[in-house]
Chain A
Amino acid sequence: MIAREMFEEFKARFGPLIQRADLPSDNRLFVFVDRSAVKHVCQHIFRELDARYVASIGADDRPFSGNFLVAHNFAFDHDHLLCSVLSYLPADDPKIDSISSIVPAASWAEREMRDLVGIEPVGHRYLKRLVLPDGWPDGKHPLRKDVPWNQVPDEFDSEREFKFDEPPEGCTVVPFGPFHPTLDEPAHFRLYVEGEMVRGCEYRGFMVHRGIEKLAESVMGYNDIPMLAERICGICGCVHNVAYAQAVEEAAGLQPPLRAEYIRTIMLELERLHSHLLWVGLACHIIGFDTLFMQSFRIREPIMWMAEKISGNRKTYALCVIGGVRWEITPEVKAELGYTLDQLESEWTAVVAAVSKDKNIQKRTRGVGVADAALVKEEGLLGPVARAAGVGIDCRRDHPYAAYDRVEFNVITGQSGDVWARLLVRAQEVFESIKIIRQCLEKMEDGPLALPITEELPVGRMGLSSVEAPRGESHHFVITGENNRPRRWRVRAPTYQNLQAVPAMIKDQQIADMTISLGSIDPCFSCTDRLETIDLRSGAIKVWSQEELLKLTRAKKA
């Protein structure tokens, strides 16, 4: 009902500017809006209706409708509704009003849209290149359909350098990354530092683009993509695997069997367990407390073994196909998993009891890297970062998928929004995950693992899927297409949003707190960097050209 009510309200308010709407179910709403009204509709949704910003998608729809397509996705978490505001732009004039002045969280997504699809967000205040490599020629947009997936443009200029912004007066620049012991993946923060205080920073990322979306849209099939999707992330791969499969299933109107949904839930929660335990360990390592780092890795190990028993792999589970799953949970595995969870629960209880009383850890984490509820709203922050600030959003409850509507669990929230609160939230979520897996094991009934799919999936349908990753909501948007593959597949990983708030979180803090503040969002740069056509990196040291470096690395040492 809520989707229809919402649509009626839009129509009453904006009249003919609302062109049409798709209401595939009661918790999805696709509104097609005239491009002149997109900004106003978004303002209405984000400010007056207080929805949460999710993602923006740009797509080249010219081969099909002759237009470009822009979508801004919002979530009404209390009403369990995901809403997409779509607008077609004429092929010869791909411009749209920027919404980033109203929704700051959309800033990156609009810059990305401009880089990759060539859709110009008019009125965006900071249109620096975000995703494309520095040497990439202007005016070439890799996600357009007329650009082959394996093309390197002739005009590529490996000598062109990245231009950093000017640091504010009186500050020295401290480069942080791309290679730093606490950054396991490349990302570069240029910190503006005054003494030991950080006054601001510039982020430069997207250094290891793998062109995953383009690859999927050009050469892979529906059932190959889950295996690619889970390689987006080094830790929470299963999340992308499930989210993609769900988005396609939703677009095609498929309902996977019950047992498959339970197995998806179990694997997602196993992943959350090992991810949270990993995070607690790493956070302790960052603040120099290696004992807990080692202990949490020890406690985590049996979970990895269970994952391997079920899927054959510690991390990359290759779980989903469209319409089901590939792995069964046998009675032996079920028994062993139960035992492992008991073990984990008792050990983790001891750890949490020790940590929550530790003054030393509190000293390093309280009041550090604060993101309050206002920042959560503005920047669209997700997961434990939002929950630690008292914003109780959790897709498992708000937009239930898989078997989450059939199990009971609590959404853990904190109050202070600092690193300490995030630590406590994650520590408690481990217990909720254990609870969820136990319920799944108990309630799961025998049945088939996957739907038999014999017909082609329908073309041109849209699907949205939000999955609560350990780091926050992973959002996938799919438009089904011809040749057994989607036309457009957009992934918005949680770090994509959370990372945008890091400059605000580390401002006016000690440089010693930088690493733990960044670490506390559990950053996953590979998730964020997923987009690009070709892995070309520039910015080589001046003495060496890129070719020389390549030659050097490939030359055999005598």
Chain B
Amino acid sequence: MNRSVMWMIVSGLLNVGLVLLIAPFFQGVLRKITARIQSRQGPPLAQPYFDLLKLLGKEDIESGESPLMQRFAVYLALAAVLTVACLVPMGFAAPMNSAGDAILLIYLLTLCGICTLLAGLAAGSTYSLLGISREMMSMIALEPLFAIAIVVSALHSQSFRLDSVLNGSVYAIGGFPWSGVLMLGVMLLSFQAFVQRVPFDISEAETELMEGPLVEYSGPKLALFKYAHMAKLVIYSALFVALFLPWGSGLAFPLGWLLFWAKVFVLVLLVTLVAATHARYRIDQAIRYFASLFGVALVALVVASYGY
């Protein structure tokens, strides 16, 4: 085995480990700040770690229509998220840069949504089915936004290679990067939906659908789903930073790396603030909102194809 493959595996594992390690911490920050906004004390920052450990230690109960699919869905969900972790630069170059391209990235992210679909089908209850129908509707409206952002970036860098796409290439043209700035706006406005937080936690809506697709999950399987959910927040934030906020990533090791995570942290704060100050949208209102963003994204795509 040659050196570069070794390096790829080691750094890939590093990224995965880092995401697993840091995701519950961000969740803890999110909960703590939410609590403060709500005049509550809030749980300790380490609470999500304890929650996961507690759930992992519980009895593994099989329930719902199809227990096998239920298990498969949750493994797939976490696996898909962690695979994405290998493809995203997190303060360094993406570990598996040469193993895949931006198209693979889009597929993998869609796969996370598919897992929710499988989970809901496995439960087979009316509420989970309602949940997945909402999940599918918002996925269909949302995924193109992300794909367009990547395509805009790829158009500017003339390549689908990860290291060129995920390097702030949305702005990489001479003159003012109209399409890049448009997409930055679109992604900022839809970011809450990608990480499935209020006001776009429609498919799980506790007070309407009783957690929808997750209704039959408990114990270790629920822990893994929650883990995947937390990891998603980190991954999407990292992707966002890589796509749109590349400045400073070229700095020497500790500085560039620290700056990267500081930017991710700021994004998490933003998500927290929006979640704490909004009510949940209804699915039709959300879809209308996504549709208008999609319109803007299409304009950005056209503009980008003309080289602006």
A residues within 8 Å of B by Cβ? 172-175, 180-182, 196, 284-291, 293-295, 298, 360-361, 363-364, 510-515
Contact = CB atoms under 8 A, between A and B. Distances in A.
B305 interface: no
B297 to A, nearest CB: 23
B76 to A, nearest CB: 27
Contact of B38 (A175, A182, A295): A295
A288 B205 contact: yes
Interface stretch (B249-257, B260-268, B279-287): B279-287
Nearest to B206: A181
Contacts of B276: 290-291
Interface residues of B, number: 28
Nearest to B198: A288
A23 B39 CA distance: 55
A288 B209 CA distance: 12
A510 B284 contact: yes
Given A294-B38, A294-B40, A511-B130, A288 B279 contact: yes
Contact of B278 (A286, A360, A511, A514): A360
10 contacts: A287-B207, A288-B280, A289-B279, A290-B198, A294-B40, A295-B38, A361-B279, A363-B281, A363-B285, A515-B207
A173 B208 CA distance: 15
Given A289-B279, A291-B38, A360 B207 contact: no
A287 B285 CA distance: 13
A285 B207 contact: yes
Contact of B37 (A286, A287, A291, A511): A291
Interface in B97-129: 126-127
Given A288-B198, A295-B38, A512 B279 contact: no
Interface string B184-202: 0000000000000011011
A310 to B, nearest CB: 25
Contact of A364 (B39, B130, B210, B281): B281
Contacts of B127: 174
Contacts of A511: 130, 208
Given A291-B37, A291-B38, A298-B39, 8 more contacts: A174-B126, A181-B206, A181-B207, A196-B130, A286-B207, A363-B279, A364-B282, A512-B283
A364 B40 contact: no
Judged by DSSP, the binding face of A is helix
B158 interface: no
Contact of A513 (B34, B277, B279, B282): B282
Contacts of A513: 282
Given A181-B207, A515-B208, A284 B279 contact: yes
A512 B38 contact: no
A291 to B, nearest CB: 5
Contacts of B280: 287-289, 364
Interface-centre pick from A285, A289, A293 (highest chain B CB count, 10 A): A289
Interface string B12-53: 000000000000000000000010011110000000000000
B133 to A, nearest CB: 8
B123 to A, nearest CB: 15
Nearest to B279: A289
B43 to A, nearest CB: 14
Nearest to B205: A288
A510 B282 contact: yes
B267 to A, nearest CB: 20
Nearest to B130: A511
The 3 closest A-B CB pairs, nearest first, are A288-B280, A294-B38, A289-B279
Contacts of B284: 196, 510
Nearest to B280: A288
A333 to B, nearest CB: 26
B206 A295 contact: no
B210 A180 contact: yes
A175 B129 CA distance: 13
A287 B283 CA distance: 12
A284 B283 CA distance: 18
A515 B282 CA distance: 12
B39 A288 contact: no
Contacts of A287: 207, 279-280
Nearest to B40: A294
B251 to A, nearest CB: 37
Contact of A360 (B38, B39, B279): B279
B260 to A, nearest CB: 30
B180 to A, nearest CB: 29
Contacts of A196: 130, 133, 283-284
B216 to A, nearest CB: 15
Interface string B270-308: 000000111111111100000000000000000000000
A512 B206 CA distance: 11
B119 to A, nearest CB: 19
Contacts of B207: 181-182, 285-288, 515
B126 A512 contact: no
A172 B208 contact: no
B126 A175 contact: yes
A364 B126 contact: no
Nearest to A287: B279
B30 to A, nearest CB: 13
A121 to B, nearest CB: 35
Contacts of B281: 363-364
Contact of A181 (B37, B202, B210, B279): B210
A288 B279 CA distance: 5
B199 A360 contact: yes
B199 A288 contact: yes
A360 B280 CA distance: 8
A522 to B, nearest CB: 15
A291 B282 contact: no
Interface in B2-18: none
A181 B210 CA distance: 7
A290 B198 CA distance: 10
Nearest to A513: B282
A272 B284 CA distance: 35
Contacts of A295: 38-39
Contacts of B126: 172-175
Nearest to B134: A196
B64 to A, nearest CB: 16
Contacts of B38: 290-291, 293-295
A462 to B, nearest CB: 44
Contacts of B205: 288, 512
A364 B283 CA distance: 11
Contact of A289 (B130, B133, B208, B278): B278
A515 B133 CA distance: 19
B39 to A, nearest CB: 5
A172 to B, nearest CB: 7
A59 B199 CA distance: 52
Point out which of B201, B202, B276 has the most chain A C-beta atoms below 10 A from its C-beta: B276
Nearest to B285: A363
A303 to B, nearest CB: 16
